[in-house]
Structure 1
């Protein structure tokens, strides 16, 4: 039996913590026992978790003795992790303990210096903040989880379930992982990565103090992405040279103008795949792609899955009814 220590600090995300408890407490071995002994550890006997409070069984002193530490995310990633937590994680790492984060728990591992020079992931919505705070980490937001051996990280919410089942598979093999997955009513492995969940190229917040000089142009692109937009046409609309336009886009969005247009078109296609029964080729044309092949290629590149797989995953029940063509 392996020991799992699940870390609970103030502001912990209750879902992340309880998900890990549920998975590791239900790993049936052929001998009749459970694969893991689960301990909830924290800095206080009672830890705030949004509208809940979570009791802890142990203090930080048990972390180096565990075989595996799970670090759930916290709601506010701008709050600094207590120094004693960071020190305990470093001590556990030096002792050879495997450490895995769920969602924004990657911020805690990065703050402890355990992700420097490593590939890692976190919730896509926190990616920009993470990159700014921890530039030494190779962040990959297109995957559900990253296994770097002793250190593992996962993306947001249910990606933590994927990571926990991956750990079970790594520790006990495919058949035990399959049994744990059935108890969790989840697949052992999901197709695609986090990319399919990312909301691409949204309009910036239209509030005082947050507008930029590209806001009006981005809104125009939003309304005209379905047309045959060219770089020259966008530059003319912005009253800029193409060189200046490219420089402004890179500075404010990290993309070229045409990359932004492609992202908007893919997001519009995702919305149609979720809400209508229109054919894939029709959707590609309607959102502005010139060919079905190019649409499928760009959609898979940005979303990580084919359009039909995306539809099967995200389409609501009401979309099963015929829609006007």
Structure 2
């Protein structure tokens, strides 16, 4: 490529010949200038970006990607502060669960290490003022996850204890465990005895309480009345179904105070003591049947302590 130079001071024109090598050198110089300018702007943006107050200069000097990264960091920092507050709330909740679990454990009488709800090793040492360090997001996430597992574990254990107590209270109410009349001795026990009418050895399916006529008869446990009528042998008789094929029977009453299908509560008065049916005098004949098989009432009544 030839370039012709014309000047009024020159007597004649001059020509320059540019080869491919010349073009390559020129392009290289321009490229180096552009690279150096970019590096210089990047250095200024990193070193002086925070101190630049002019929006125009800041726009020119600060790398857009660096600005985006700074905004993301600021957003994460703000969110981390909020989540740290949530972590403190969850730790307080864990302390309350531990306190409740400890009370439930003591009330249940369970002393095994496996059932211990709140078992924190002793800690101590001198107080030292250390420089504060911000918790990283990954570290915080691990702590939060561990705390979540701990809360779930505490909730499961407390749920198990609560179910245990609920079952205990329910069993106490549906098992015939309180005395049906106000006395502490049997006039005739469960098992074989001499029948007062035949004089022969016979099996007595319940227990007898010899008390005055008119003495209140109470339901030994809650349930539903499945029989309230007069029986040829038992006289005025009441049967209460406690569920799971467990029934209590109250016989020889002078008066029945509950009806068929009625729901009765533990300790509720259901009849009055009498001497109806096959009886030699005022008393209560009390039976407990499981799947229609007579059971020894003393085994149940002893549960009431």
* Coarse TM-score class (shorter-chain normalised): under 0.3
Larger helix share, 1 or 2: 1
Which has the higher Rg, Structure 1 or Structure 2? 2
Give TM-score scaled by structure 1 length: 0.22
TM-score normalised over the length of structure 2 = 0.23
Structure with the higher strand share, 1 or 2: 2
